[in-house]
Amino acid sequence: MSEISAGTSVIDVPSRQAFEARTSDGEVAGYASYSRSGEVVTFTHTVVEEKFRGRHVGDQLARVALEQVRNEGLRVNPECSFVADYIDRNEEFQDLLA
C-alpha cells in the first residue's frame, strides 16, 4: 500500500485484477486494471473518477503498480495508453517493458 495524499492510498486488489486508489473512507478514486500471464503484467485500462482528476491519482496508480511489478521481478506490457505514456515519461520504469 502506498499513500497518495493525506488519507488516500493505492492497493493491489488481485480479485479485481486492479490497483485501486482509495480515500480514507474507502471510496475508490481511480483504478488501473491488469491481467497477468506468467511473468508479464499487462495493464489494460486506467480510470480516475472525475472529482479526483487533477490530483495526480493516475500517476500515483502507475508508479505504485510499476514499483510492485519490479518488486515481484515481473515485466510489463502497457496496453493502456496512460501507463505506456507514464513509462515513456519516467525512464526508471523502462527496464520493465516486456
- Class of 2-92 in CATH: alpha beta
pTM, entire model: 0.89
**Residue 4: which pLDDT band, with cuts at 50, 70 and 90?**
low
Pairing of strands 75-78, 40-48: parallel
Say if residue 26's pLDDT is above 60: yes
CA distance between the termini of the chain: 24
- The SS3 call for residue 89 is helix
**Model confidence pLDDT, tens digit, residues 41-89:** 999 999 999 999 988 899 999 999 999 999 999 999 999 999 999 999 9
The ranges assigned to domains in the chain are: 2-92
DSSP string, 5-46: ETTEEEEEEGGGTEEEEE-TTS-EEEEEEEEEETTEEEEEEE
Q: Which residues pair with 92 in a beta bridge?
A: none
